[in-house]
Structures are given as structure tokens and as C-alpha cells.
Amino acid sequence: MRRMVELAFEIKKELESHSLKNFGAMLDENWRLKSQLANGITDPQIDDWYQKGMTHGAALGGKILGADNGRCILFFAPPETHDRIKKAMNDLQSIKFRFDRNGAQIRFLSTFRRTDIVTDKKNFNISDYLISHANLGKELNLNAFEAGIQLIKEKFFANKKIITCGNGGSASTASHYITDWNKMVNLATGKKFRGLSLCDNMGLITAFGNDLSYEDIFSGQLAAIADEGDLLVAISGSGNSSNILRAVEYANANNIDTLGVVGYDGGKLIHQAKYSVLVPTFDMQLCEDVHLMFGHMVMKALSIL
């Protein structure tokens, strides 16, 4: 433990000197020390992935971030070795990230309710918000967006039901998807779009919530209307909403394809859904903006067939 504390100060000094000569080795030493502290910090699978990145990918150092299903492996490596690392670890998904120059910010718990508002002393600025959008656009995996659109196209042509769900703002997005897709695609093509939102029938939502649990409000509806080969589009900013995960679990177990539309780091949903579209930002409003844009992309792609 004492050596880990010393390393923290050494890493800080290395960064402040604008030299990264020893940064990788420090990360590697810190991770190897940390992994010996207690059971559960690592496991054979994580050790194997880490060793692949270090040996075959020629990374200089790394560490494990997050916990449980949200874990990521961070490697520090020269740019010319990045493709080798990805190839050595082709069973894992590569995630782009940026440093937040504002540093850590506080999410707080109220006595009465939890809030997801991040406190910030800065005044809101429209230009900054739009610039954030532009920067986020550069981080999007457009291939994943294209694949999500293509999946919905295939279900449309196969006359399968396309079913959406989400909570809060994502519930509105789920309804918006179906509004646009049902109306505009049919008007443009003359072909029926078999779209349904699990967020629109308050009677069913409250019945399942009251008689079973809030976690069952989507999976319960899904069991009543979905057939093999249909598609569930599950929308979640955090990717960790329990009722969304339960619906996706039901769908996967019953041969219903699943597309997760997620934000943040993808949460558990990005691993549980068969397909996913990720908006890689921890700003919920930016997530929801781009999630809505994805729905409009689908509508435009289907309306020009």
C-alpha cells in the first residue's frame, strides 16, 4: 500500500513535468500491486486480457477502470501500437474517450430524491453546448449507427414488429421513434411499419408496476406481444435501468433481437444487447439529443426506399 501511495505522487510529478517517459511503467506497477490487495479485484479472464495487451499489443502499462460488468481496461501505448492492441484483444470492444478538463464533478443525493444534475458554477452558454455537440459527433462510431439502421431495415422488410422502450426522456424518445417511423415510413413507401412503443399505455405500465414490479413494466408487455424474430429497441442513457435490462434479458431468451441505444460508457446494456449504438458522453442531455437524431436517421433511411 505504501508503494502505491508513492506511485501516485510519482505519476502526478511525471504528468506535471509534461514527460510520459515512465508513465506506462508506473501504471503497470500500480496495477500489479493493486491486483494483490484483495480477492475480487481481478480474475483469470482480466489477467489474460491485460497480459495480451502488454505482450502482444506492446502496451507500456495499463489499469482496470470501473466495477462489475462496467469494467474497462485502459492501456497506455504509443499510437503506432494501437492497432496491434486491438487485434490482440479482438474479443473486446474498443471505446474512444476524452479527458475532461473540468475534472471530477459532484453528483449529490437529496434526502427526498436522487438527482442526476451535475452541479457546475459556469453559466450555460449556447455556443459551448453546440460546440460540445460538434465534438461529440467526431467521437461517434458511424459504423455502429449504420449497422443499427440496417438492422431496423431488415426487420421492416421481413414484416417483423419493431418495439421500443425507455424511461424518462428515453421513454419520450421511444414514443417519438414510433411516431416518426409508423407515420413517415408508411406515407413514403406505402408499406406498413409494424412499430410499437411499450411506453404509451399507462394502464399496462401501472398494472405491471402495481401487480408485479416496476422492473417488469416492459418485459411483461413484451411477453404478451412479441414474437420470435421481432426487434426490441431499448433506449437508456446510463445503460443500467433495471426494467430495460430485464426486457432485453427476456427478449434474448425468446429469440427476439435486441438493439441497445445507450450513452455514458454503455453500462450493462451495451454488453447485454445483441447490437448497440453508443453515444459516448456522460452528459445526459447530449445523449438524449443524439438518441433522437438516430431515430430521425432511421426515418430518413427508410423513407427513401
Q: Which domains does the chain have, with CATH numbers?
A: 2-88 (3.30.70.890), 141-303 (3.40.50.10490)
Phi, psi values for residue 274, rounded to 5°:
-70, -35
Tell me, what amino acid is at 90?
N
- The H-or-E segment that residue 76 falls in is strand 72-76
264, 281 contact by CB (below 8 A)? yes
**pLDDT tens digits for the chain (305 residues)?**
678 777 778 877 877 777 777 877 887 888 787 777 766 677 787 788 788 778 766 678 887 776 555 567 888 788 888 888 788 777 777 776 665 555 555 444 333 333 344 445 467 788 888 988 899 989 899 999 999 999 999 999 999 999 999 999 999 999 999 999 999 999 999 999 999 999 999 999 999 999 999 999 999 999 999 999 999 999 999 999 999 999 999 999 999 999 999 999 999 999 999 999 999 999 999 999 999 999 999 999 998 86
Instruction: Round to whole Å and give the CA distance between 41 and 49.
Output: 14
Instruction: Round to whole Å and give the CA distance between 90 and 93.
Output: 7
- The H-or-E segment that residue 261 falls in is strand 257-262
List all residues 6 or more positions away from 88 whose beta carbon is below 8 Å from its beta carbon.
52, 53, 55, 56, 57
pTM for this predicted structure: 0.61
pLDDT at 108: 40
